[in-house]
């Protein structure tokens, strides 16, 4: 039986207790017997429009208390296979991106070195660079599955190199990503110029707009993702603005014409079989949310991240050969 489990909602009501993701134990001393750790990075100093994503981790945790251990779509009781905790939040330095990177890298590197998969709650998308730096030290250049309305590959914004629109260009420049194993899905909305998306392609990324996704189909897109990123360690970064603002209004840079909440969940569910070493869910902005619509979706997407970890462990246990029995 896994050691670290959510509290039993048949014993204590969901509205009781300190808010952690899925009511997992709050444990700051990471240990090798943990499969994953929920880690908040409440920082929004890289935002270019609406601010407030620093309150995203809190909102996602609050919405997550409705989640239950059996994933009916994937047909797995996830905590039969995995054990994990809510670490709480990394220390951040409000208003100072590079100092925040240094502090968060320490926590994320500790998790990676222990074999724990970090599942990060943001925060704006600038935080992903710190995650990639930490995981690169452990795993080398990473593949990337990136769901977003924006490619985040500008060279600078307001002459600043670090913000939520430059993350993945910096990651390539620092050698954190293997561009041949990077795929971006969901790009849409008005651009500053015709070359905006070509900047990502020039970095070596495979890029699909939301219109491409509709044309290709969701099942075929999952196959394209797998063909692109396998083999090797992979990071999944999910910006909630990938989803249409009708289903996720609480975000910093909304773009109309996105996917539905069901379609977003289906895409993530299809990614079983990819060796993910880290996940993040970013850009949830509670002050623009209504009735927890965005944070509920975000919590459910993170739940699907945990399910992917559980499925991978389940499949490894099935595939592990039995020890040979000596003959009498």
Residue pLDDT, tens place only, 208-227: 999 999 999 999 999 999 99
What pLDDT was estimated at residue 324?
39
What pLDDT was estimated at residue 322?
43
Residue 5: pLDDT band with limits 50, 70, 90: confident
What pLDDT was estimated at residue 14?
83
What pLDDT was estimated at residue 11?
84
Q: What is the pLDDT of residues 82-106, one digit of tens each?
A: 999 999 999 999 999 999 999 999 9
- Lowest mean per-residue pLDDT among 45-49, 156-160, 182-186, 229-233: 156-160
| Nearest Cα residue to 201 out of 185, 220, 222, 179 | 179
Look at residue 77 and tell me whether its pLDDT is greater than 60: yes
Instruction: Please tell me the CATH code under which domain 21-314 is placed.
Output: 3.40.800.10
With contact defined as beta carbons under 8 Å apart, do 120 and 127 qualify? yes
Look at residue 327 and tell me whether its pLDDT is greater than 70: no
Structural domain boundaries of the chain?
21-314
Look at residue 242 and tell me whether its pLDDT is greater than 90: yes
What pLDDT was estimated at residue 4?
85
What pLDDT was estimated at residue 71?
97
Residue 316: pLDDT band with limits 50, 70, 90: confident
Residue 167: pLDDT band with limits 50, 70, 90: very high
Tell me the pLDDT of the chain averaged across its residues.
Answer: 93
- Which one has a higher pLDDT value, 104 or 17? 104
What pLDDT was estimated at residue 89?
97
Reduce the secondary structure of the chain to three states and give it as a string: CCCCCCCCCCCCCCCCCCCCHHHCCECCCCCCCCCEEEEEECCCCCCCCCCCHHHHHHHHHHHHHHCCCEECCCCEEHHHCCCEEEEEECCCCCCCHHHHHHHHHHHHHHHHHCCCEEEEEECCHHHHHHHHHHHHHHHCCEEEEEECCCCCCCCCECCECCCCCCHHHHHHHCCCEEEEEEEEEEECCCCCCCCHHHHHHHCCCEEEEHHHHHHHCHHHHHHHHHHHHCCCCEEEEEEHHHECCCCCCCECCCCCCCECHHHHHHHHHCCCCCCEEEEEEECECHHHCCCCHHHHHHHHHHHHHHHHHHHHHHHHHHHCCCCCCCCC
The proportion of the chain whose per-residue pLDDT surpasses 70, expressed as a percent, equals 96
What pLDDT was estimated at residue 321?
47
Look at residue 132 and tell me whether its pLDDT is greater than 70: yes
């Amino acid at each position: 039986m896994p050691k670290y489990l959510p509290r039993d909602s048949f014993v204590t009501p969901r509205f009781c207790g300190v808010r952690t993701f899925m009511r997992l134990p709050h444990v700051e001393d990471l240990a090798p017997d943990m499969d994953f750790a929920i880690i908040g990075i409440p920082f929004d100093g890289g935002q270019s429009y609406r601010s407030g994503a620093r309150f995203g981790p809190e909102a996602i945790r609050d919405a997550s208390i409705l989640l239950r251990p059996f994933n009916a779509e994937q047909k797995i009781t996830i905590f039969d296979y995995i054990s994990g905790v809510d670490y709480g939040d990394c220390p951040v330095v409000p208003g100072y991106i590079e100092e925040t990177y240094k502090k968060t890298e320490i926590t994320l590197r500790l998790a990676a070195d222990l074999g724990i998969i970090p599942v990060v709650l943001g925060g704006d998308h600038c935080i992903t660079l710190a995650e990639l730096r930490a995981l690169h030290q452990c795993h080398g250049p990473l593949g990337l599955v990136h769901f977003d309305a924006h490619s985040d590959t500008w060279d600078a914004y307001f002459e600043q190199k670090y913000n939520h629109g430059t993350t993945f260009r910096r990651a390539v420049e620092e050698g954190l990503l293997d561009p041949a194993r990077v795929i971006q899905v969901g790009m849409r909305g008005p651009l500053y110029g015709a070359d905006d998306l070509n900047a990502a392609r020039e970095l070596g990324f495979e890029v699909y707009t939301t219109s491409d996704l509709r044309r290709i189909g969701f099942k075929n897109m999952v196959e394209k993702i797998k063909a692109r990123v396998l083999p090797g360690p992979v990071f999944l970064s999910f910006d909630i603005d990938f989803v249409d603002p009708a289903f996720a209004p609480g975000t910093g840079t909304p773009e109309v014409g996105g996917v539905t909440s069901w379609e977003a969940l289906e895409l993530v569910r299809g990614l079983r079989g990819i060796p993910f070493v880290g996940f993040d869910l970013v850009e949830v902005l509670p002050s623009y949310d209504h009735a927890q619509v965005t944070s509920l979706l975000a919590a459910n997407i993170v739940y699907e991240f945990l399910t992917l970890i559980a499925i991978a462990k389940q499949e490894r246990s099935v595939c592990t050969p039995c020890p040979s029995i000596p003959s009498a």
